[in-house]
Amino acid sequence: MLSNVDIISELNKNIFIYPLPEEHIRGSSVNLKASEWAWSITTCQSIVSEIEGNQIITIPANDTGLIETEEVIYTSKKISGTYHSKVSLVSAGMGHIGTTLDPTWCGNSLIAIHNHSSNPFRIHVGHTFVTIMFYYLKSNTTKINTNTSGQTEVLTEIGIPAALIPAELRAEWRKNPDDIIRRCNSTNELAKLKSLRNKFGLPLYRTKKFLYAIFPIILILIGVIIWFMEPRVQNEMIRANGILDWYLKVGLSGVLATYILLLINHISEG
């Protein structure tokens, strides 16, 4: 499971979320917002309306609302995820959310929420309503996700009229990894990501990249110290064996072999 530090580290690398929900990244999850696209399973009609100047999703009593997330997500072959309920919703009688995010998913997420209560339940468009948690895969997947962005084929199958499925939800960029990556790398999104990393990211000296970069320098420094100190060693036996010669031929080769294997593993994970 990824912590907030892991998630922030993987953003724009193996996890792409657009627009970036900067203020909704929690300790080990990300809260996603409800979009203006939502339908009733019973009536197959939109359940979004304007109430007192606000766009509101109203899930009727004993009905299920299908709600698209505002955020578009793309993950690499090494990341999967699970969707979870928010306590505020289930405490009001909404059904638990239990579905998955497959690696290489691309697009909006369609979330089903059942209203078990005897009263209509309202969700403000733009407010968070579902939580997603991310996980590293031990091995990169060899299967590529083929589901459509926003699961629009599911909407069609259950009877949602095509006229009520907006063209914007079917837009090509929402199912194209390159387009999503491009949007995540826009000036505004990069500014939000930089702010997140400054607040919650790992300091440079604790990152793997820093350790891999500093390791060869340490090896060189050890060699220089041995080279400088060897002529001054008083013990003739040690001098005869040649500390520097041993270090260069045996010790260094063993350490370098380990370092190279770790570096290859790091690159393959990326």
Q: What is the pLDDT of residues 43-92, one digit of tens each?
A: 999 999 999 999 999 999 999 999 999 999 999 999 999 999 999 999 99
89 and 191: one domain?
yes
Co-location of 102 and 135 in the same domain: yes
Where does the pLDDT of residue 132 fall: very low under 50, low under 70, confident under 90, or very high at 90 and above? very high
**Residue 123 and residue 187 in one domain:** yes
On whether the pTM is more than 0.85, the answer is no
Structural domains in the chain (count): 2
pLDDT of residue 240: 45
| Type of residue at 71 | E
Q: Are residues 65 and 183 in the same domain?
A: yes
Higher-pLDDT residue of 211, 138: 138
Instruction: Based on the fold, state whether residues 153 and 227 are members of the same structural domain.
Output: no
Strands 121-124 and 54-59: antiparallel
The answer on 210 and 192 residing in a single domain is no
Verify that 34 and 156 share a domain, yes or no.
Answer: yes
Query: Which domain, by its residues, includes 249?
Result: 205-269
Residue 164: CATH number of its domain: 2.70.40.10
245 and 156 within one domain? no
Q: Are residues 64 and 119 in the same domain?
A: yes
CA 18 to the chain's CA centroid? 11
Strand partners, 75: 15
Cα dihedral 116, 118, 122, 128 in deg (nearest 10): -20
Backbone angles phi, psi at 72, to 5 degrees: -105, 135
Domain final position from 201, 221, 250? 201
Question: 187 and 125 in one domain?
Answer: yes
Residues 270 and 259: their CA atoms lie apart, in Å, by 17
**How would you list the strands of the sheet with 54-59, edge to edge?**
48-51, 54-59, 121-124
76 CB contacts (<8 Å, ≥6 apart)? 13, 14, 15, 103, 104, 140
**Residue 237 confidence (pLDDT):** 46
Closest CA to 85 of 97, 69, 71, 70: 97
Domain boundary among 184, 201, 218: 201
The residue among 186, 201, 216 that closes a domain is 201
- Whether residue 23 is found in the same domain as residue 37: yes
Average pLDDT over the chain reads 86
Write the CB contacts of 79 (distance below 8 Å, at least 6 apart in sequence).
Answer: 10, 14, 15, 103, 134, 135, 136, 137
State whether 124 and 222 are in the same domain: no
| pLDDT for 148 | 86
